[in-house]
Amino acid sequence: MTERDEIAAANRAHWEREVKRKQSFTVPWLDLNVETIQRYIAGQLEPVPSDLFVIYPTSILKDVAGKDVLCLAAGGGQQTAVLGLLGARVTSVDITAGQLEGDRTAAAHYGYEINTQRADMRDLSSLAADSFDLVYQGPSMSWVPDVCEVYAEVARILRPGGRYRVDFENPANHFIEWDGEAYRITQPYSERLLYPENGLYDYRHYMGDIFNGLIDEGLSLQELEERPYAKPDPDATPGSWDHLACYYVGFAIVAAKHA
């Protein structure tokens, strides 16, 4: 695969490094079971484990058995494992080879089939039109500058009536850091791009782009749920992912392609 541009090259290199150091989003979930997942979907699981907590809203997990599901930029053997165990026919598209290897590891562990393809989420030309009942996108949209490029690809490959689940950071406090005493927003709202030390291209997306872009592609809003990217823990070390989750909330959108 030839990288589309310097954005894709930098972000792919970053996530390949994260796979090697076993960052949390890159480690396959190999201790799942269907009964626990079904109890979570039914609202009967308390407390909710940290892994399932980030798979939401639960409505998108219902009735996926036998459906064609694309996990988009959600490699690593996590979301794909949940959907595979529920009986979905899963395809995973990710820009990172190591993340796709995690998907294959989980599939082999649990015994379901999976199709993996390395591609940029902005170019899904390798996938046929009207071929998926559900597209599940993990927390990855901030790595691309224009949400509409992704939306257009998703709208093309979704079947009429198919659903698209995508999540976002809240643009008002997208660039937030712990300064030793409190969390602070590090850049003005007018600035869309952050160049962190790890080499990622990290983009802020405004509400108008997020929602109007879906409408422009013929997708209609079905559901919205707010939730942090980790299970909040007020006793965690300040500045850690779990501690930040007490103060910072994102949201997931479920949209449907017009039938």
Q: Which long-range contacts (CB under 8 A, 24 or more apart) does 94-97 make?
A: 94/118, 94/119, 95/8, 95/11, 95/12, 95/15, 95/119, 95/120, 95/121, 96/12, 96/15, 96/16, 96/19, 97/16
Q: What is the mean pLDDT of residues 155-184?
A: 95
Of the candidates 147, 134, 100, 172, which has an alpha carbon nearest to the alpha carbon of residue 257? Answer: 134
Interval 102-145: pLDDT, tens: 999 999 999 999 999 999 999 999 999 999 999 999 999 999 99
Residue 199, pLDDT score:
75
Interval 190-215: pLDDT, tens: 999 986 667 789 999 999 999 999 99
Q: What is the mean pLDDT of residues 85-104?
A: 98
User: Cα–Cα distances in Å, from 32 out to 48, 110, 139, 253?
Assistant: 13, 9, 21, 25
Burial zone of 253 (CB within 10 Å; 0-12 exposed, 13-18 middle, 19+ buried)? buried
Of the candidates 86, 140, 109, which has an alpha carbon nearest to the alpha carbon of residue 28? Answer: 109
- pLDDT grade for 219, boundaries at 50, 70 and 90: very high
Q: How many C-beta atoms surround the C-beta of residue 206 within 10 A?
A: 14
Q: Are 202 and 196 in contact (CB under 8 A)?
A: yes
- Cis ω before 47 (30° cut-off from 0): yes
Interval 26-61: pLDDT, tens: 999 999 999 999 999 999 999 999 999 999 999 999
User: Which residues, 6+ apart, have CB-to-CB distance to 68 below 8 Å?
Assistant: 88, 89, 91, 131, 132, 133, 134, 159
